[in-house]
Structure 1
Amino acid sequence: MKNDTFLRALLKEPVDYTPVWMMRQAGRYLPEYRATRARAGDFLSLCKSPELATEVTLQPLDRFPLDAAILFSDILTVPDAMGLGLYFAEGEGPRFERPVRTESDVEALFAPDPSDKLRYVLDAVTSIRRALDGRVPLIGFSGSPFTLACYMIEGGGSADFRHVKAMLYSRPELLHKVLEVNARAVTAYLNAQIEAGAQAVQIFDTWGGALSHDAYKIFSLAYMKRIVDGLIREKDGRRVPCIVFTKGGGQWLEAIADSGADAIGLDWTTDIAEARRRVGDRVALQGNLDPNVLFGSPDGIRQEVRRILAAYGQGSGHVFNLGHGISQFVDPEHAGVLVEAVHGLSRRAG
């Protein structure tokens, strides 16, 4: 491994600078990504081509000195492999032909075998690891059981999650069945990614923050903890770190820190200094620049980077990232300013 700073920071080992990567770093803000996607024909075809997924995973690393690559894929590959009929409607985002609404829908769910239904993802992981050639670590990922359930039950994105919350408050046992299947599926999927070459994994709990205080612990965090407990944590003589990222999860930091994960991803609404005080030395922290800062001036970007680095303070255990994914409308030059600022300012601070 030529650059393992990201892995060492996740394990709170000494580092020379604060490592940085960006959620959605391979995406529509890059013209080279848009060109590759046009060649693929559509988003799903791009995801399902290991060759093209490798190409777009490496594109941001060819532009910026990032400290990690993240597998190019989508969180909805798992419910797609369950046979729910994933498709992307123009202007509407992801949709499922067969949403999970009834008891019979729930009973028909199964945890897919990753080596069969998701072989294209595992082939992409292997291909990306080979192409990286030890340049930086590769991150694998999945959606959380609750976040996947939101898409599966709503049939796509939602502003109010009325179908999944109706199930939660009227038939909680049905929602638990969905979450149990999802937890088994995600555990197997992440372990298969680790076996194929992923050196760290992240669980994206995009919609956990939409739950009430108690419901989050019961219907989201409890199932992520099951996954963390079931993960392969050592591979090729190294620990495989696990990051849990709940958007809107700032009020549950102590509980997330007790989940067994190595790091907590923070969105931009949480103060990183306060987060560090609350979790102590139990976990590393990842985050947490407001993605919209990248629409500001280069000086404004540097100022916000300096503020977050100072708020975290001295010592390892911080991976710099955005508080959510980078916007498709961001100027790539501004992403470059961010990476340069994190590396330069953290080295001087150290």
Structure 2
Amino acid sequence: MRIAAYHRYGAPEVVGVEERARPEPGPGEVRVVVHAASVGAADAAGRSGSPWFARLAFGLRRPRNAVLGSDFAGVVDAIGEGVTRFAVGDRVFGATGADGGAHAEAVVVAERGAIVPLPDGLSVESAVAICDGAMTALPFLREGGRVRPGMRVLVNGASGAVGSAAVQLAVQSGAEVTAVCGPAHVELAASLGAARVIDRTRDDAFSAGAPGAPFDVVFDAAGKSSFRRARRVLTAHGRYLTTVPSWAIMLQQLTSRLGRRRAVIMFTGLRSAEAKRPDLEELAALAVSGAFTPVVDRVLPLGAVAEAHRIVDTGHKTGTVVVTPVPEYQEA
């Protein structure tokens, strides 16, 4: 089978298509033909080995695993001994987590892993967009921000994979949402349900008197602001959430517990499979019902994986970039 592999850290060009033997599922495992996989910020960090904390997960001196990609959607084509949840031919989607391996024509995952049935009416591209964005946004809003009806929420980076999901999920929770994005994405953010949209090139969402302020929650989905800046527009007991770890934010998370305003960093990818499966099912049901729309930037073949990484590196993608190792119309 074909895989997208890399053997050293660097620019997008270090990732290329290679051949590898198709893996066989062991006891309690299933093999999935991958019809779609996301290329996201975590993949870009793993490929480049930057920022510093990426190498703690991917390997200190060189990549630990040659194949990136944690979000997948496809069809089960082989099952190991003892598998009861799935059968050959089932449409499924999910995430492999730190194991990666989804940027390939087939991936083996544990039956007890973060894998669930792919419902009718949900495309494989939308399914991996759910994994890439909404599976981060949901726990941040639910546990990190404790978002409830009537709260005011600011989403910075509202057009990215996590941000576009956060806008919609916060609205679904009954919050009044202010979205911050670049001028090219103002209409998109408004269409996702934001009560107001701030063009970051024209107005400062973190200045005193910013539209919609003060906020109960500032969700920095882009990781481009700071707790120090957000404090200006937070309510007395407001929370600043960020997806990007740093020494500063981890220290602020500890020290802010002594005050009223809180800084919060979460490592949602490290949650257990048991915690992830219900969220995958809930988000898929919302998408099928039309209450939530996963945003897809573009869909590329596996051979264009380096281009997918380049798009992610720009920091200006809209939603999720998807690669299709085995297109759905093609025989596995």
TM-score (ref. length: structure 1): 0.26
More strand by share: 2
More helix by share: 1
TM-score (ref. length: structure 2): 0.27
